[in-house]
Chains A and B, each alone.
Chain A
């Protein structure tokens, strides 16, 4: 499937929709090839090659909007007709102001690599094998599951306002899960994930990281309850932010009165040494692209500058409703099958940094938390959360000891005020780009 073909189909569907009486139409066409090697129950067991192609169509008729999607191609007439009938089933939206118009599209780097797009399953199997060999070196470690997945995605957006865009990206997501077992005790699953765009993962490093974490999780003791400094891994922090912070900087939630940060633009929301940036253009970011999924150019948007809330993230519809421009944050999370919704691109956290060892060494009594469970039960509006921390370690005068049965609770928005330091070893975990972040005064329950 080449890129011109995608644009052609898009143009045909839009044209056909207008002919059938649509006031406006927008076609999103995507083609994805996923190749992956999976390891489970302790062995490499499966290789996959999956091709998915389809059309998502938004049709507007008398300010009523419908969305239809269909796998495969060549059914242009059927799709356009279904689009009209679904639009008619919807309710008039007087706030509708049209699809985006054409704008200048920036150039981005580090989003496509030909070698990655053509990498063979052979090569991926070899890589996973390397990972397994590394895991074998460690005594008491058992591999649970893992996967190396490569995606090659081509997408095109065509709308009746003149937007006609296409691009091409590669993605590689790899993860490994292991447990350590000794003297009848099994540790929690130790998991780590690597997000790449233009290169294969460093599987050896990934394997060593999870094995070390698992070994350090053996012989856990009960933690003591109290209020203490807690150091969260980027994985744990991304989990918490997904269900709190990302919800509250979302223009739709601001518009609907569901954001903790509504009405707080220009106010101090955390300490002045913290900044947060949504950077859709950064070189090689996992969510970097020249334009978002409704054809708006990606941008670098300052969300928090020295503790002051500067911006929300938005698409064109809700951006307008809160009186601001789209920040290029419309994302379709499941290819052509989904409507664009507001999501962060790459969230860069800026906090005064130090070496992780130094951060830990300076803590008299605190916690180091690798994963949290249950963040999805947080209340995004109030910021209240209550999560299980596992694996986690108690820090006692700079020394680590594994703990079990520990929960953290509190209010994430209040915790934003308690960010002290971040470690220098920064990585991207899904949207978040950060190191280990130290929060002061977190409630620890046992």
Chain B
């Protein structure tokens, strides 16, 4: 489907017509989705998408055009559309776009897959997901009211060809599963969510078998049903890897995406400054084994590199694409990602983690008279001004250094940099999780870290 000669001709033509840079991205993607509600198979979906897009830089403006039912004429037309678009946009730009050009490369990257999900029949996948529900209803028969699971696998072959002579074929595989369970007892409603995934193919139930997922969901539900509500105010807190991951991704990570930083995020004037204790190092690492954000080339054909965001408390750098790297005079980090071939790549996170320290997990709790242990999150959001809010689905009181009663309906909020400044202990454990990030487009990302202790954190709840 991806006609090399045609693509070559398109790129040459664009350059002849005055483009300063041009890239062609192609995609051939197979998707399976399964949605199961309680004991009902709500949907079994199989999708196939093929398409290509052309992005040209002309006179300092981007022109972009995509087609998904292509013949030669359509592709040529797409190029002319992209060029025309760029010309029009370039008349109105305030600051011309310039990008980092790279050395030529030719590479083919295969997906590192144990079991290709395309080799497993949809009906076998349905059986596996239903098993999770059967187990959950068995072990949770007194409290479980409803459970819903969304499963997805995606195998995609991507092509990238650019005028700086980069020719890359890269395959990626994503499997993903998320369950929502609702429990009810004595009029109290509890909701639990668990999300797991892999880049190694259909190995989800080997990494987390159905018993383990079901048990996690019911532990969270039982905790909430027997929980007290949080006191509002400021308290010391211990954050588990899952909450640390959400915090470094949502609260800090977005501020360190160069496009948002250059748009005035709260860290732009703090680069090179110390904002946290020596114990805090945060990186966006494309090399973590089986992380959702582990891949060799991004969607601008750039080799991915580890982006060091905070090193020993000092803000070191940002996550870049070709454009922001040029603007700031640094190397691109390979953070440009596009959800599909038909949208422009944006700066996105990959595997964003806080690196481990040297405390034992138990030590973090010592000396806390009253505080909270935040074990897993429900959802979170952050704003450019550096404020954040994260909902917590599993939390406990800490009383005299010991984990106490479970707490429900909790959220934490505050100022990200202030909060990082209050991290006073980092443990030596480490875990990543699997999630999806929305920034207009969806990206599969991982995030994580060890347990950490925060001296004082704003806890939200009902007054």
Residues of A near any B CB (own CB < 8 A): 37-38, 40-54, 65-74, 82, 85-91, 93, 120-122, 125-126, 128-129, 132, 142, 144-145, 179, 181, 184, 186-189, 225-227, 256-258, 337, 339, 373-374, 376-377, 379, 381-382, 384, 386-388, 390, 404-405, 407, 409-410, 443, 445
Contacts and interface: CB of A to CB of B under 8 A. Distances in A.
A145 B265 CA distance: 12
Contact of A390 (B67, B387, B462): B387
In the complex, which of the residues A50, A74, A258 has the most CB atoms of chain B within 10 Å of its own CB atom?
A: A50
Q: Which 9 pairs show the lowest CB-CB distances between chains A and B?
A: A377-B391, A47-B85, A72-B69, A89-B122, A46-B62, A377-B379, A89-B123, A91-B41, A47-B89
Nearest to A181: B264
Contacts of B85: 47-49, 121
B375 interface: no
Given A44-B94, A145-B263, A376-B379, 15 more contacts: A42-B95, A45-B62, A47-B86, A49-B81, A50-B66, A50-B343, A54-B49, A68-B45, A90-B43, A90-B126, A125-B89, A188-B387, A374-B379, A388-B388, A405-B414
Nearest to A120: B88
Contact of B97 (A45, A54, A90, A120): A45
In the complex, which of the residues A44, A86, A121, A409 has the most CB atoms of chain B within 10 Å of its own CB atom?
A: A44
Contact of B461 (A49, A86, A144, A386): A386
B383 A189 contact: yes
A74 B68 CA distance: 12
Interface in B391-421: 391, 409, 411, 413-415
A445 B70 CA distance: 55
Contacts of A128: 92
A310 to B, nearest CB: 25
Contact of B383 (A44, A188, A225, A410): A188
A186 B93 contact: no
Contacts of B269: 184
B191 A379 contact: yes
Given A45-B93, A443-B462, A54 B381 contact: no
Contacts of A258: 146, 182
A407 B389 contact: yes
11 contacts: A45-B89, A46-B89, A50-B53, A70-B47, A186-B264, A376-B381, A388-B383, A388-B387, A404-B387, A405-B414, A445-B232
B308 interface: no
Interface string B113-134: 0000000011101100010000
Contact of B64 (A49, A73, A181, A337): A49
Contacts of A120: 88
A71 B265 CA distance: 38
A257 B144 CA distance: 12
B95 A66 contact: no
Contacts, number: 248
Interface string B51-65: 101000000011111
Contacts of A88: 123
Contact of B263 (A50, A93, A144): A144
B46 interface: yes
B259 A41 contact: yes
B49 A373 contact: no
B82 to A, nearest CB: 7
In the complex, which of the residues A47, A87, A91, A410 has the most CB atoms of chain B within 10 Å of its own CB atom?
A: A47
Nearest to A46: B62
Nearest to A187: B385
Contacts of A42: 94-95, 262-263
A253 to B, nearest CB: 10
A71 B48 contact: yes
Given A44-B94, A45-B97, A86-B44, A52 B387 contact: no
Interface residues of B, number: 84
Given A41-B263, A48-B64, A407-B411, A67 B45 contact: yes
B287 to A, nearest CB: 28
B69 A374 contact: no
Nearest to A411: B462
B380 A374 contact: yes
A53 B50 CA distance: 11
Interface string B430-463: 0000000000000000000000000000101111
A374 B189 CA distance: 20
B91 interface: yes
B202 to A, nearest CB: 15
Contacts of A126: 92
B383 A390 contact: yes
Contact of B264 (A47, A71, A144, A386): A144
B389 A91 contact: no
Interface of B: 37-38, 40-41, 43-51, 53, 61-70, 78, 81-82, 84-86, 88-89, 91-95, 97, 121-123, 125-126, 130, 145-146, 182, 189, 191, 232, 259, 262-266, 269, 324, 327, 342-344, 378-385, 387-389, 391, 409, 411, 413-415, 458, 460-463
Nearest to B344: A46
Given A145-B263, A386-B409, A46 B64 contact: yes
Contact of B384 (A65, A68, A179, A256): A179
A52 B411 CA distance: 40
Contacts of B64: 46-50
Nearest to A407: B460
A337 B189 CA distance: 34
Contact of B91 (A49, A53, A125): A125
A71 B68 contact: yes
Contacts of B40: 91, 93
Given A69-B45, A179-B264, A225 B463 contact: yes
B69 A121 contact: no
Contacts of B266: 186
Given A373-B389, A407-B389, A69 B47 contact: yes
A357 to B, nearest CB: 27
Contact of A45 (B61, B91, B189): B61
Nearest to A443: B463
Nearest to B91: A125
Nearest to B125: A89
Nearest to B47: A69
Contacts of A43: 93-95
B122 A373 contact: no
Contact of B462 (A226, A405, A409): A409
A293 B378 CA distance: 32
Nearest to B343: A50
B251 to A, nearest CB: 11
A410 B192 CA distance: 20
Nearest to A35: B85
A52 B383 contact: no
A373 B254 CA distance: 15
B209 to A, nearest CB: 22
A51 B84 contact: no
Nearest to B324: A41
B63 A52 contact: no
Given A48-B64, A51-B68, A82-B46, A407 B413 contact: yes
Contacts of B458: 405
Given A257-B146, A258-B182, A44 B61 contact: yes
